[in-house]
C-alpha cells in the first residue's frame, strides 16, 4: 500500500485509555486519518497531543471509517459500543473492518464476529499485549484471527500499532483464547512473584539482591522481572491495575467451569488479587499483591504503606 493510499485510510479508535490513546497516536504517526472517542472527558482531553481528531460520539468517529479499533475494557463494553444506541455498527459503512482488542472469552469473540458479519461488516479478533509504553511506540504484540479479507484490509493499521503480529488463523475466538492462556500465566506469575519477594523479605534477605539473582536464574518470569522493581521502589502507581487481573482471571474461572477444565493455580491467584482489591487497592498497580502479603505477615516493604481507604479510588 502506498503512502498516498495510507493517507486516505480512515481509522476510528473507540476507547482512549492507556492502550487506546497510544494506539491512536501510533496510527496518526503512520499517516492514517484518525478520529478518536472515549466516554470519559479526561481521556478526550489528552487526544490533541497525539495528532488525533476527537469526535463527539462513537457514531461520529466511525461515520467515514474504513477501520474501527475497539479498545474498551471487556466484552460487555465492546458489545455496548457496537450495538448500543448511537453505536459503532449502525454508524459504520458496509465492508468496514471492526478490530476488537479487548481481552475476552473466546465464545464472546465468536458471538461478536457472527453478529458483526451478519450486519455486513468484517470482524477481526485482535487482542493486544505489551503495556502502555509499547502501545505509545506502536510496538505492541497483536494476536490476530479472523477472515483473510479482514486481516488483509487491517494489515497496514496493525503494522502501525504492533511490532509483532501473530496470524492465528481465520476463526474469530482463537486469538482471544491465546490471549486468555497468556493472561492465566501472567496473573499467576504476578501473584507468585509477590509471594516470593515478601517471603524473601521475611527471611531477612536483601530483596534488591533477590531480584538480581532470580532474574538470571531458573525462577525468573517476564512478570517477576517487570513488576518486582515496583516493589523495590515502593511505587504502586498503576502501570496495570489489580482489577485487570480480577477481571481476566475471572474470565479464566468462567471458562474453567464452562470447559470443565480445572485451573487450581489460576484460581488461587484470582483469590490473591481479590484479597488485594478487597483491601482497597483494586485501582493500584498489580504488584500491590505484595503489599497484601506484607500486611498479613507484618513485613515492611520499601516505602509501601497500606493506607488506602476502601472508598478512595486512586
Contacts to its own copies by CB under 8 A: 106, 129-131, 141, 143, 164, 166, 168, 174, 177-178, 180-186, 188-189, 191-193, 195-196, 198-200, 202-205, 209-210, 213-214, 216-224, 226, 255-256, 259-266, 268-269, 271-272, 293, 296-297, 299
Q: How far is the CB of 20 from its own copies (least distance, A)?
A: 18
Q: Which is nearer to its own copies, 63 or 185 (CB)?
A: 185
Q: Which is nearer to its own copies, 147 or 226 (CB)?
A: 226
Pairwise CA distance, residues 194 & 297, whole Å: 13
* Cell of residue 232, nine digits: 523495590
Q: Is 164 a catalytic residue?
A: no
Q: How far is the CB of 110 from its own copies (least distance, A)?
A: 12
Residues 11, 14, 20, 26: what is their CA dihedral angle, to the nearest 10 degrees? 10
Place of cell 482489591: 277
DSSP, res 281: I
Determine contact, residues 124/69, Cβ cutoff 8 Å: no
Determine contact, residues 272/266, Cβ cutoff 8 Å: no
Q: Which is nearer to its own copies, 16 or 270 (CB)?
A: 270
Pairwise CA distance, residues 257 & 89, whole Å: 32
Contacts 24+ apart (CB under 8 A), 271-279: 272/191, 272/194, 272/195, 273/187, 273/191, 273/242, 273/245, 273/246, 273/249, 274/246, 276/242, 277/242, 277/243, 277/246, 278/310, 279/306, 279/308, 279/310
Residues 141, 144, 150, 154: what is their CA dihedral angle, to the nearest 10 degrees? 0
Q: Give the distance between the most distant pair of CA atoms in the chain.
A: 64
Pairwise CA distance, residues 207 & 148, whole Å: 49
Q: How far is the CB of 14 from its own copies (least distance, A)?
A: 24
Q: Which is nearer to its own copies, 58 or 192 (CB)?
A: 192
* Cell of residue 5, nine digits: 493510499
Q: How far is the CB of 214 from its own copies (least distance, A)?
A: 6
Q: How far is the CB of 167 from its own copies (least distance, A)?
A: 10
Q: How far is the CB of 105 from its own copies (least distance, A)?
A: 10
Out of 10, 93, 164, 179, the active site residue is 179
Q: Which is nearer to its own copies, 28 or 112 (CB)?
A: 112
Other CB atoms within 10 A of residue 269 CB: 26
Residue 144: in which H helix or E strand, if any?
Answer: strand 140-146
Q: Which is nearer to its own copies, 53 or 220 (CB)?
A: 220
User: Which sequence positions are flagged as catalytic?
Assistant: 179
Amino acid at each position: 500500500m502506498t503512502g498516498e493510499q495510507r493517507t486516505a485510510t480512515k481509522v476510528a479508535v473507540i476507547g482512549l485509555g492507556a492502550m487506546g490513546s497510544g494506539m491512536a497516536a501510533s496510527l496518526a504517526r503512520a499517516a492514517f486519518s484518525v478520529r478518536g472517542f472515549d466516554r470519559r472527558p479526561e481521556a478526550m482531553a489528552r487526544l490533541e497531543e497525539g495528532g488525533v481528531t476527537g469526535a463527539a460520539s462513537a457514531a461520529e468517529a466511525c461515520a467515514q471509517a474504513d477501520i474501527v479499533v475497539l479498545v474498551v475494557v471487556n466484552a460487555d463494553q465492546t458489545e455496548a459500543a457496537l450495538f448500543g444506541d448511537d453505536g459503532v455498527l449502525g454508524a459504520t459503512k458496509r465492508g468496514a473492518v471492526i478490530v476488537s482488542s479487548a481481552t475476552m472469552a473466546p465464545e464472546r469473540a465468536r458471538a461478536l464476529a457472527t453478529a458483526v458479519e451478519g450486519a455486513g461488516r468484517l470482524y477481526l479478533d485482535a487482542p493486544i499485549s505489551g503495556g502502555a509504553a509499547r502501545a505509545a511506540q506502536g510496538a505492541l504484540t497483536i494476536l490476530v484471527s479472523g477472515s483473510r479479507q479482514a486481516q488483509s484490509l487491517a494489515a497496514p493499521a496493525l503494522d502501525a500499532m504492533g511490532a509483532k503480529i501473530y496470524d492465528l488463523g481465520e476463526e474469530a475466538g482463537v486469538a482471544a483464547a491465546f490471549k486468555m492462556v497468556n493472561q492465566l500465566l501472567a496473573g499467576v506469575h504476578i501473584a507468585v512473584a509477590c509471594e516470593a519477594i515478601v517471603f524473601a523479605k521475611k527471611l531477612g534477605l536483601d530483596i534488591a539482591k533477590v531480584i538480581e539473582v532470580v532474574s538470571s536464574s531458573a525462577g525468573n518470569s517476564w512478570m517477576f522481572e517487570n513488576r518486582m522493581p515496583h516493589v523495590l521502589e515502593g511505587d504502586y502507581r498503576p502501570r496495570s491495575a489489580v482489577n485487570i487481573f480480577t477481571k481476566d482471571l475471572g474470565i479464566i474461572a468462567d471458562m474453567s467451569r464452562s470447559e470443565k477444565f480445572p485451573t487450581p493455580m489460576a484460581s488461587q491467584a484470582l483469590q490473591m488479587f481479590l484479597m488485594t482489591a478487597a483491601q482497597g487497592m483494586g485501582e493500584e498497580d498489580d504488584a500491590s499483591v505484595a503489599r497484601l502479603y506484607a500486611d498479613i505477615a507484618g513485613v515492611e516493604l520499601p516505602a509501601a504503606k497500606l493506607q488506602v481507604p476502601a472508598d478512595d479510588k486512586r
